[in-house]
A = this chain, B = another copy of it.
Amino acid sequence: MDAMDHDSGELQEVSAAEIKSFFESAPPLKDGDEINKKLKEFVERNSSATAPRVVCVTSGGTTVPLEQQCVRFIDNFSSGHRGAASTEYFLKAGYSVIFLYRSGSCQPYCSSLPDDPLLECFDISDDSNIQVRQSHAEVVKRVISEHHAAVSGGYLLKLPFTTIFEYLQILRLVALSLSCLGPCAMFYLAAAVSDFYVPWETMTVHKIQSRSGPLDMRLAQAPKMLSVLRKEWAPVAFCISFKLETDSKILVEKADMALKKYDMHMVLANELSTRKEEVIVVSKSGKTVVRKDKAQPCVDVESPLIELVVDRHSTYIKHSGDGTETTRREEDEILVS
């Protein structure tokens, strides 16, 4: 079970020390300056509209290195499909997206492609030219053109990570760069972030040796960055986190706890085996179940989901001047299970 809620002042104090320690002991971020430069340019390009909407979508799992010269690591199963599909729908809805994704995970527009698109979608023709296989032509064309339009149009910025250190360091840079957009910025935190990790300074340097007998490992709890994101890095941005469980009996309870504990605006809760069909949206105004329409198998569950999220963000922006958060429950109910 998660720890009991402390008095919020105490929680803030404990977390601040942990978080400070985490960043101070983490290995320095490679290409930090390059990332900051890209972020600055991206935000400038997208600030010119009257009410520019930018969402940071995080996607895929973080790794926890077990050795400094990393051979082994703990990973989270996360294809990145949720984040990648959601990014497509945010772009369609007119948002610009900073896509903070696990290197090698699912890319926007690419989910209907085979695992190895180059080798499975192309042939060499009789006159020695590269040609796309007819069966894949339309899909490949759409993938390439939509992806390139989003990137070259300046609507999609892609930033890769692998370790939990890189993920949190880059997330912090993104949050600081988006703070100028106030409530128009959104965080859609679909990444599967490690709950446990090995602090860098206590990590064994060399590869852990095989031996006779079992291997005992002790992992520290990873500090929850959601609190510091909400309180310090992006205090007026609209924040959405995810909850994935394998046991449906505890799913909503865990989502409710996360909503309160980290002061999220929404928690999107899903059960591992049904995550492509159903998402439970938990907020202060109650619970809403979003389902894939079985009559439209080609339409992802992310379609109605992002529509609802965008609508809630609009309400949030509208009310952000007068200090009240929306509790427009009657408009939010789709189906309550």
Contacts and interface: CB of A to CB of B under 8 A. Distances in A.
A284 interface: no
B116 A144 contact: no
A141 B128 contact: yes
Nearest to A247: B206
A103 B220 CA distance: 30
Contacts of A209: 1-2
A322 B244 CA distance: 61
A196 interface: yes
A19 interface: no
A122 B144 contact: yes
A3 to B, nearest CB: 4
A72 interface: yes
A214 B218 contact: yes
Nearest to A68: B246
Given A71-B76, A207-B246, A207-B247, A119 B147 contact: yes
A69 interface: yes
Nearest to A142: B124
Contacts of A148: 119, 123-124
A144 B117 contact: no
A221 B217 contact: no
Given A124-B145, A124-B148, A247-B206, A3 B212 contact: yes
B103 A115 contact: yes
A69 B272 contact: yes
Contacts of A74: 66, 72-75
Contact of A113 (B113, B118, B207): B118
A144 B130 CA distance: 8
B63 A75 contact: yes
Nearest to A151: B119
A296 to B, nearest CB: 27
A3 B220 CA distance: 30
Nearest to A109: B119
Nearest to A3: B212
B107 A116 contact: yes
Going nearest first, the 7 A-B pairs with the smallest beta carbon separation are A3-B212, A69-B246, A195-B210, A117-B118, A124-B145, A215-B219, A207-B246
16 contacts: A63-B75, A72-B76, A73-B75, A104-B104, A107-B116, A117-B117, A118-B118, A122-B140, A124-B141, A128-B141, A130-B132, A130-B140, A207-B247, A215-B221, A216-B216, A216-B218
Given A104-B115, A216-B219, 10 more contacts: A2-B211, A2-B212, A69-B273, A71-B244, A206-B246, A207-B246, A207-B247, A211-B221, A214-B220, A215-B219
